[in-house]
Amino acid sequence: MARAAEIRFLPFGDRRVAYELSGTGPPVVAPAWWVSHLELEQRDTRVAQFWEALTAGFTLVRYDQLGVGLSDRSLHEDDLTLEHEVALLAALVDHLGFERVTLLGASGGGAAAIAFAARQPERVEQLLLYGTFADGNEITTTEVRQAILASVRAHWGLGSRVLADIFLGDADREAQDRFARFQREAATGETAAALLELVYRLDVRAELERVRVPTLVAHRRGDRAIPYRLGRELAAAVPDATFVPLAGSAHFPWFDDAASVVRALRTALAPERRQPVSSPQAALFSPREREVLALVARGLSDKEIAELLVLSPHTVHRHVANIRHKLGRSTRTAAVAEAARLGLL
């Protein structure tokens, strides 16, 4: 049985870092990325389902950076370096006794994952990167950076809304308001600005050619927080890396077509965990349900599937509901991940 999510604390110097441990299986460690709050994220169905779908069959480890969330809220000047980020990641891996891990570096957490993989390849099974970069200075112009940081520092209420608009792409107003509140609960404006400044300074270009572990880079074409070209350039600079372009404008993977992100990362994460299509589970699905499942995995909506297969939206909705039920998953994203694990895709 998979382990329910548990929040624990890592002693790090004279402070404590909150980390979450969930699931059972080979370890996947996701370095902290800017502002987070493990407790609040556990209550967010969208976030929880994304991680569950992505890491089913694995032990997932995530943590709050110092200064935010459930970690000690004191933030020191020497915390704001790449070396600190890598040291914290290494300390957690050591603390948990993992010999080898898969690193999932997303957004600002990508730099620590890349540097760790380059410096300690014997401890890294593979490197999965999403929505990240090699040189933070290239994320946006100096003028835009200064305007964003000034807004966050001067009026965190307004600044959190500006960032919500950037991070969530075309998400509705309710989602943006909810994320703005989340940011304000997770960190003070000064801490948020300091960590955002760190992201803009992170530079792992010198590490890229030393990465010798299997690497996949996924990036949304319309990402408004980290430009798509930075993901493409990153993949081109890592020896033998695979690049997966994705549709969407939201920076956070659980918005827009979350299933496509799960599918891209999961294909690299767990290819050996797939079962043959002739497995007993395959017999549970009708040919039409298999057809619909394949289209759901491609990220198509019920309406798009209905038009493609010349069916009514109601019929497609029923097929999707049956598929979720047979796979024992409550969402499309989780169903796609389970189907991939079973070798049905």
In-domain check, residue 312:
yes
Range 298-319 average pLDDT = 83
Identify the domain boundary among 273, 291, 326: 273
Q: Measured at the alpha carbon of residue 200, what is the angle toward residues 198 and 206, in degrees to the nearest 5?
A: 95
Q: Which residues contact 13 (CB under 8 A, 6 or more apart)?
A: none
Residue with tokens 């549709």: 247
Exposure string of 199-213, with b = 16+ CB inside 10 Å and e = fewer, is: bbebebeebbeebeb
- Give the domain extent around 260: 6-140+200-273
- Do 98 and 247 have their domain in common? yes
Here the CATH number for the domain that contains residue 38 is 3.40.50.1820
- Do 302 and 213 have their domain in common? no
Identify the domain boundary among 250, 273, 296: 273
Dig out the tokens for 10 from the structure: 């890592």
- Do 128 and 205 have their domain in common? yes
Say how far apart CA 269 and CA 153 lie, in whole Å.
Answer: 39
Say how far apart CA 156 and CA 284 lie, in whole Å.
Answer: 52
- Do 134 and 209 have their domain in common? yes
Kindly tell me if the per-residue pLDDT of 273 is higher than 60.
Answer: no
pTM of the model: 0.80
Say how far apart CA 220 and CA 237 lie, in whole Å.
Answer: 18
Q: 326, 345, 343: which is closest to 276 by C-alpha?
A: 343
165 alpha carbon, distance to own chain's centre: 18
Mean pLDDT of the chain: 91
Dig out the tokens for 15 from the structure: 């402070």
In-domain check, residue 192:
no
Kindly tell me if the per-residue pLDDT of 281 is higher than 70.
Answer: no
In-domain check, residue 175:
no
At 156, the pLDDT band (50, 70, 90 cuts) reads very high
- Do 264 and 285 have their domain in common? no
Residue 25 three-state SS: coil
Q: Integer distance in angstroms from the first to the last C-alpha of the chain?
A: 24
In-domain check, residue 235:
yes
Q: What would the DSSP string read from start to end of 245-311?
A: EE--S-SSTTSSSHHHHHHHHHHHH-GGGPPPTTSGGGGGS-HHHHHHHHHHHTT--HHHHHHHHT-
User: How many domains does the chain fold into?
Assistant: 2
- Do 219 and 296 have their domain in common? no
In-domain check, residue 146:
no
Here the CATH number for the domain that contains residue 337 is 1.10.10.10
Contact predicate 219/131, CB 8 Å: yes
Kindly tell me if the per-residue pLDDT of 274 is higher than 70.
Answer: no
Identify the domain boundary among 257, 273, 289: 273
Q: Lowest-confidence range among 55-64, 65-74, 279-288, 291-300?
A: 279-288
Say how far apart CA 113 and CA 90 lie, in whole Å.
Answer: 10
Give tens-digit pLDDT for 171-226. 888 999 999 999 999 999 999 999 999 999 999 999 999 999 999 999 999 999 99
Say how far apart CA 241 and CA 214 lie, in whole Å.
Answer: 7
pLDDT of residue 275: 41
Q: What are phi and psi of 227, to 5 degrees?
A: -55, 145
In-domain check, residue 162:
no
Q: 138, 165, 145: which is closest to 250 by C-alpha?
A: 165
Q: Lowest-confidence range among 58-62, 117-121, 209-213, 339-343?
A: 339-343
- Do 77 and 226 have their domain in common? yes
- Reported as type and span, the H/E element at residue 222 is none
In-domain check, residue 24:
yes
Kindly tell me if the per-residue pLDDT of 2 is higher than 60.
Answer: no
In-domain check, residue 189:
no
- The DSSP secondary-structure symbol of 65 reads P
Contact predicate 191/67, CB 8 Å: yes
- Reported as type and span, the H/E element at residue 168 is helix 156-168
Q: Which residues contact 254 (CB under 8 A, 6 or more apart)?
A: 46, 47, 49, 50
- Do 136 and 285 have their domain in common? no
